[in-house]
Amino acid sequence: MKMLPLKAAVGAALLSVALGATAKPLVVCTEASPEGFDMVQYTTAVTADAVAETIFNRLVDFKPGTTDIEPALAESWDISPDGLQYTFHLRKGVKFHSTDYFTPTREMNADDVLWSFQRQLDPKHPWHDKSSVGFPYFESMGFKELLKSVEKIDDHTVVFTLTRREAPFLADVAMAFSSIFPAEYADKLLKEGKASELNSKPIGTGPFIFTRYAKDAQVRFKANPDYFRGKPPADPLVLAITTDNNVRLQKLKANECQIALYPKPDDIPSIKADANLKVDELAAMTTGYIAMNTTRKYMSDVRVRKAIDIAFDKEAYVNSLYGKGNALVATGPYPPTLLGFNNSLKNPPRDLDKARALLKEAGVPEGTVITLFTRNGGGPTNPNPMLGAQMMQADLAKVGLKLDIRVMEWGEMLKRAKNGEHDMVSAGWAGDNGDPDNFLTPNLSCDAAKNGENYARWCNKTFQDLIDEARSDAEPAKRAELYEKAMLVFEQDQPWIPMAYPKMFTAMRKNVEGYHISPLTTNNFATTQVK
């Protein structure tokens, strides 16, 4: 009996040597640059992929390819009977990354969890004012109001006390903004007067160690040999930033990258026909939409928003941009894969006469110019931004509106939209935790209108009360009923034109293994390898 563990240990050691010897590089063609590496300042999926899914971990994770929760930095947790206290029991032996700019002196513990949440929660925290943009996701999710306290019981036990029940709380702490940072590294940077380096030289516990970022070109990582789930099989990992989806496909065919994110839906048949390539696909939790800035002249009038909605040929837009069968025409803020989707919502028939009458009634002069912000490269929720904008321009011209299309780089567009400089902005959202709240609170709540993440700047008390009640109710049937009511308020007031619920696609070489396409549209390469 005693021999077996020893044999097993020798076998495991040999296996790890063999894995180490065969680790191959993995190059992933991605669609945009990360905005930075201090995850809590950003909300985009692009940044989460390059930062939260590589460098960092959270207390809990989504099980790959699902919305189920599994242990991560916390190996277990207890929830009090009233649903207001969550006690997390931390995993022992988890190491932070060692790099040429930081060597940790201790393992991850409760101090790091406290630092990561208190920094966002407590205005007196020494790092609270170090973010130039505040903490947009934390704030949009209403976490300031939700978290009563975060306390350390001992080095491996942390208790979160909530002000109210929050049905999706475990899923919330699996999201990118809940990443756990090293308190020791943060203290060092503060002492040295180098606080900005938290955003350029990140340290985490994740599967990959950051090595270099060449702006708008690539982000490079090496595999973390001390990762608590075992060293990733790909080494190094390179995210090659390639904004044009045609170029991503060319690079994939030339084997310059082994995975290409977000291919054009109409390229999928030819990718499937290529003997060297394969495609993963999924009905994802995504919505493509146009937000109408309800604080701007004319756009503040619901009649104008309704007129734009019924002047626009949504069906033609979805078929042209995504290809038949690759997306559903949207009717609300989130897709039918989620709880409380309201099946009674229907797109009104296209009616140019009625649109003109509504604009006239609202006192909008013929030839009024309206701006539309859109991005320069295609992504999952908008595969061809320019074509989509031109189609809208042609449709609105028929009812006497001039659409001024402003094309800009992704980060720039978001920054200006947060400032409210747009009349309309073409945006999209991928659910981060599989809960409807994650579409509604960050994008359409009154808190999110204040910090600019709600690009419609829409704050509706009836809607807010319904989604607040739905968040605090644990009973799914009751939550579904509340969300269905909230959808009707959304439809009446029309802050968005919901465009499409696209399918997600990832193209890769035939020899890529271990990649899991996620309904949350995150991309994690910790188990992916090139054979």
Per residue in 237-252, pLDDT tens? 999 999 998 999 999 9
pLDDT for res 5: 34
- In three-state form (DSSP H/G/I as H, E/B as E, the rest C), the secondary structure along 501-524 is EEEEEEEEECCEECCCCCCCCCCC
Considering the chain, what percentage of its residues have pLDDT values greater than 90? 82
Asked if 26 and 238 touch (Cβ cutoff 8 Å), the reply is: yes
Question: Can you list the domains of the chain with their CATH numbers?
Answer: 37-199 (3.90.76.10), 286-504 (3.10.105.10)
pLDDT band of residue 181 (cuts 50, 70, 90) is: very high
Distance CA 442, CA 223 (A): 33
Collapse the DSSP code of 265 into the 3-class scheme (helix H, G, I; strand E, B; otherwise coil) and give the result: helix
Beta bridge mates, 261:
506
- Number of other CB atoms surrounding residue 212 within 10 Å: 11
Residue 17 has pLDDT above 50, yes or no: no
Of 86-100, 322-336, 511-525, where does the model show the most confidence? 86-100
pLDDT band of residue 11 (cuts 50, 70, 90) is: very low
* DSSP 8-state assignment for residue 122: -
Distance CA 523, CA 517 (A): 7
Q: In degrees rounded to 5, what are phi and psi of residue 115?
A: -55, -45
Asked if 443 and 347 touch (Cβ cutoff 8 Å), the reply is: no
pLDDT for res 208: 98
Please compute the mean of the pLDDT values over residues 149-175 and round it to a whole number: 96
Distance CA 517, CA 280 (A): 7
pLDDT for res 306: 98
For residue 520, give every residue at least 6 positions away whose Cβ sits within 8 Å of its Cβ, in sequence order, or none. 62, 67, 284, 285, 430, 431, 432, 433, 434
Handedness of CA 243, 246, 252, 258 (dihedral sign): positive
pLDDT for res 432: 77
Distance CA 459, CA 197 (A): 36
- Number of other CB atoms surrounding residue 349 within 10 Å: 7
Distance CA 219, CA 438 (A): 28
Residue 22 has pLDDT above 80, yes or no: no
pLDDT for res 430: 86
- Of residues 3 and 430, more confidence is placed in 430
* DSSP 8-state assignment for residue 266: G
Q: For residue 37, give the amino acid letter.
A: F
| Closest to 377 measured CA to CA, from 349, 351, 404, 407 | 407
For residue 131, give every residue at least 6 positions away whose Cβ sits within 8 Å of its Cβ, in sequence order, or none. 38, 40, 41
Which contiguous run of DSSP H or E holds residue 158? strand 157-162
Asked if 230 and 15 touch (Cβ cutoff 8 Å), the reply is: no
For the record, the structure tokens of 431 come out as 């659910």
Instruction: Using CB atoms within 10 Å of the CB of residue 157, give its burial: 0 to 12 exposed, 13 to 18 middle, 19+ buried.
Output: middle
Considering the chain, what percentage of its residues have pLDDT values greater than 70? 96
Collapse the DSSP code of 479 into the 3-class scheme (helix H, G, I; strand E, B; otherwise coil) and give the result: helix
pLDDT for res 237: 98
52: left (phi over 0), alpha (psi -120 to 50) or beta: alpha
pLDDT for res 378: 81
| Closest to 70 measured CA to CA, from 59, 56, 79 | 59
Asked if 234 and 528 touch (Cβ cutoff 8 Å), the reply is: yes
Please compute the mean of the pLDDT values over residues 80-104 and round it to a whole number: 97
Distance CA 464, CA 448 (A): 11
- Of residues 333 and 142, more confidence is placed in 333
Q: Per residue in 341-396, pLDDT tens? A: 999 999 999 999 999 999 999 999 999 999 999 998 888 889 899 999 999 999 99
pLDDT for res 2: 30
Please compute the mean of the pLDDT values over residues 397-407 and round it to a whole number: 98
Please compute the mean of the pLDDT values over residues 156-163 and round it to a whole number: 98
Gap between the terminal Cα atoms of the chain: 36
Distance CA 236, CA 484 (A): 46
Residue 141 has pLDDT above 90, yes or no: no
Q: How high does pLDDT run on average in the chain? A: 92
pLDDT band of residue 264 (cuts 50, 70, 90) is: confident
